[in-house]
Structure 1
Amino acid sequence: MTTRIISADCHVNEPPHVFDSVPAAYRDRTPRLMRGADGGDGWSFDGKPPKRTYGVEAMAGRTKDEHVASGLRFDDILPGNYDGAAHIADMERDGVDVSVVYPAQAIFTYQEPDRGLAQACIRAYNDWILGEFQAADPRRIVGLPMLPVDDGMAAATAELDRVLAAGAKAAFLPGNPERPYHDPYYTEMWTAAERNGVPLTYHRTFGGKPQEADWDNVAANNFSAAGTVHRFFGSTKQLTYMALGGVFERHPGLRLVIGEVNFGWLPFWAQTADEQFENQHSMGTHRITAPPSGILGEQVFVTVLDDRVGFDLARSGAYPYLAKAAMFSTDYPHSVCLWPNTRKIADELTQGLAEADAAAILAGNAARIYGV
């Protein structure tokens, strides 16, 4: 097995001071960490007791039998959730060389009605993730600043320029934007990402207002095993419309990473998308000139956990794009995280896999796309 592992999907749990740098005009209305009715701590976005408190998003350090949906206090969670140096120490324990880090509660700013306040909070989060968390060691932590995609492309591209100047290597998009990502509205942002040579990423349905009824209301502390399973498939709609809608063909330099979706489903998706490309070739509906499966491992990448089906398919050699498209991850510190057993699990998953393919999945693809 390769000696290098990059986790392409980890998370923070933001510290109480994350929004302290917002302008004075907004300071009395910023989200705050507060005590909840269940005795745990959670983030309030309206000044009222939080709808949910820490739980599934901060399970690192607990066995499966000790998992709780909520009820934890900030002092109960590992410092690696919110302190960059402690995060690196936890990476060392796990045998992980680089961590790509997604936001947590900060994503709810995409649902804030006051967009001036929301943008101020987004900028404050971005300053914290880059200037404090990633700054612990920018060679080993890739913080993902958020882009205000619902506030116009001028705002989104201006923030992209600002965070790149501050050391960002990539940027985060909400999984549920107000407009779907195949809309021409996003042309300026795709062009800016191409021009700057940086990847963009969304994390399945993470961030934004749900576009359809969700039987699990995560913000209201309503979880189920069914909802967790469904969210692994929650990104396919965006990807399919982007691919067949011609986004990647119009922007050949665009690179998109889709977080926490695994890769066992990719061959069926590629088969189905390519079939419809062929079936409707004469109908005049196409916005692309080549089968969409060609974007996998070239422009589109997915992060994977212990997806044994996906690794079996990659081991078969029947789908060469799998080893090019997959980026291994630990999902620290969430309830499905592999920490602190990542090295052992990675060794088991890659057993019998071609050495070059194992190296690509465990580190090479992420190193190539994120430049680490």
Structure 2
Amino acid sequence: MSVDLQEQAATESGGGSGGSTGFGELPRIISVDDHVIEPAHLFERWLPAKYRERGPQAVRTGIGRLEYTGASYKITTDPDGPLADWWFYEDLRFPYKRNIAAAGFSRDQMTLEGITRDEMRPGLYDPAERLKDMDLNHVEASLCFPTFPRFCGQTFHEARDKELALACVRAYNDWMVEEWCGDSGGRLIPLVIVPLWDVGLAVAEVVRNADRGVRAVCFSEIPAFLGLPSIHTGHWDPFFRTCEERGVAVNMHIGSSSTMPAASPDAPAAVQASLSFNNAMASMADFIFAGVPARFPRIKLAYSEGQMGWIPYALERMDDVWEEHRAWAGVGDDLSEPPSSYFRRNMYACFFRDRHGVDSLDIIGPDNVTFETDYPHVDSTWPNTRKVAEEHLARLDAETVYKVVRGNAIRMLDLDFDK
């Protein structure tokens, strides 16, 4: 990161008004989708000693080839190549890249090149510095998804040694709760992962963390894409039941199925980036017609970074299918209400830039929408999130704006703010 950009980001408050609004002062934002770059000491400090030698190792070395193929990355190390910070874990070689550590860089610098922590803003991996970057951006509290473990812990699900993988899941969660969030005064909101390969272990991890106040867990938008049982099988019902009973919101980030939609196998990444909301749309139909919110009427399902402009037609179409196609289309007997009713009772959309969605808020429902900054990814509105929010929400009344930028997040995550 250049010194000029660091200084610019450090002095940008993001607090300048985007113009006149109908709601007055913008409330402090609670962002329900940000990201953390794991510190190099995470597993060395938090894994039990007997696992540390075999656990993820923080390595700084050069990158050889780094290519995005449309479905995955092809990556090689090269001691003589440009330096990057990596995790080495079993056969996995995972480097951090500029497009996921983009805060403070210009758009043209947000590339797939490798990056070291020394080149990143410290707020990406240091909780005290993260709070400072949140203050610059009119953000009071933040829920952060993992990077190396991936959006719902796929890294450990794919590992061979499941005893070690379970220890890594628990170590990550202990770090998340006790170190990343521990001294933040509640401003950094814990979000944990679970061992996806064993639903009983997943339930136990939800309980272990709920007992210490955690109210958010990562899950896959489409677990079948990970080679796991689909949500139509009933396999995941013990997990959903536990989340419902403990008041734990199930957070499904786009890409948490390790699959992004594209029209052609050789399409550039721009196609997948443009269509990323499709996974949230597909997942929403999957969950509703699988009867998950019907069986668990108090469950909270959150579509992180899914945006929302697509929701009005998706609900209209699902309601039509429920009404017109029930005789043949596999509409379950337990789906006693139109699909849109389950969305409004159990589901939350999440957006950062979506003018069409805001214009459709009366159809989507102002109680079902949350807000994010996506810090520090390439899509992030940091450090100008306040300006972006004011411009998007300018025509809304104060009560609705409060719900969108913080009130619904407080309810979804059972936070102590404003209570």
Sort the Cα spacing of 1:33 and 1:54 in 2 relative to 1 into closer, same or farther, 3 A: farther
Residue 419 (structure 2) pairs with residue 368 (structure 1): no
Question: Offset of 1:176 from its aligned partner?
Answer: 4.6
Structure 2 Cα separation of the partners of residues 171 and 333 of structure 1: 20
Structure 2: unaligned runs, 5 residues or longer: 1-22, 64-81
Alignment of 1:246-265 (within 5 A): 246-265=291-310
Q: SS state of the match for residue 235, structure 1? A: helix
Residue 134 (structure 2) pairs with residue 91 (structure 1): yes
Alignment of 1:1-372 (within 5 A): 1=23, 2-20=26-44, 21-34=46-59, 35-37=61-63, 38-46=82-90, 50=93, 52-107=95-150, 108-151=155-198, 153-177=199-223, 178-206=228-256, 210=259, 224-283=269-328, 285-287=330-332, 288-314=335-361, 317=362, 319=363, 321-372=364-415
Q: Is the 8 A contact 1:111 1:209 kept in 2?
A: no
Q: SS state of the match for residue 297, structure 1? A: helix
Q: Is the 8 A contact 1:176 1:205 kept in 2?
A: no
Question: Offset of 1:237 from its aligned partner?
Answer: 2.3
Structure 2 Cα separation of the partners of residues 259 and 7 of structure 1: 10
One-letter identity of the residue aligned with 1:180: S
Sort the Cα spacing of 1:110 and 1:203 in 2 relative to 1 into closer, same or farther, 3 A: same
Question: Offset of 1:114 from its aligned partner?
Answer: 1.9
Q: Is the 8 A contact 2:280 2:306 kept in 1?
A: yes
One-letter identity of the residue aligned with 2:167: A
Structure (1 or 2) with the greater helix fraction: 1
Sort the Cα spacing of 1:303 and 1:162 in 2 relative to 1 into closer, same or farther, 3 A: same
Q: SS state of the match for residue 270, structure 1? A: helix
Q: Is the 8 A contact 2:254 2:276 kept in 1?
A: yes
Sort the Cα spacing of 1:345 and 1:223 in 2 relative to 1 into closer, same or farther, 3 A: same
Structure 1 Cα separation of the partners of residues 283 and 160 of structure 2: 24
Q: Is the 8 A contact 1:99 1:142 kept in 2?
A: yes
Question: Offset of 1:216 from its aligned partner?
Answer: 8.5
Query: Which shows bigger deviation, 231-240 or 79-88?
Result: 231-240
Deviations 1:1-40 (A, max 9, x none): 4322111100101011212222344322212232232422
Structure (1 or 2) with the greater strand fraction: 2
Question: Offset of 1:52 from its aligned partner?
Answer: 3.9
Q: SS state of the match for residue 336, structure 1? A: coil
Larger Cα-atom Rg: 2
RMSD in angstroms over aligned alpha carbons?
2.3
Q: Is the 8 A contact 2:83 2:114 kept in 1?
A: yes
Q: Is the 8 A contact 2:98 2:109 kept in 1?
A: no
Question: Offset of 1:365 from its aligned partner?
Answer: 0.7
Deviations 1:108-161 (A, max 9, x none): 22221222221111111000010001112242111211011322x220111111
Structure 1's consecutive aligned runs of 4 or more residues displaced over 6 angstroms after TM superposition are 211-217
Structure 1 Cα separation of the partners of residues 132 and 299 of structure 2: 33
Sort the Cα spacing of 1:196 and 1:275 in 2 relative to 1 into closer, same or farther, 3 A: same
One-letter identity of the residue aligned with 1:268: Y
Query: Which shows bigger deviation, 123-132 or 175-184?
Result: 175-184
Deviations 1:198-237 (A, max 9, x none): 211111222x6559999889xxxx9722222232322222
Structure 2 Cα separation of the partners of residues 338 and 200 of structure 1: 24
Structure 1 Cα separation of the partners of residues 51 and 33 of structure 2: 31
Structure 1 Cα separation of the partners of residues 185 and 242 of structure 2: 23
Deviations 1:271-320 (A, max 9, x none): 11111001123448322111111122320112101111111222xx3x1x
One-letter identity of the residue aligned with 1:259: S
Structure 2 Cα separation of the partners of residues 363 and 216 of structure 1: 39
Structure 1: unaligned runs, 5 residues or longer: none
Count of paired positions: 361
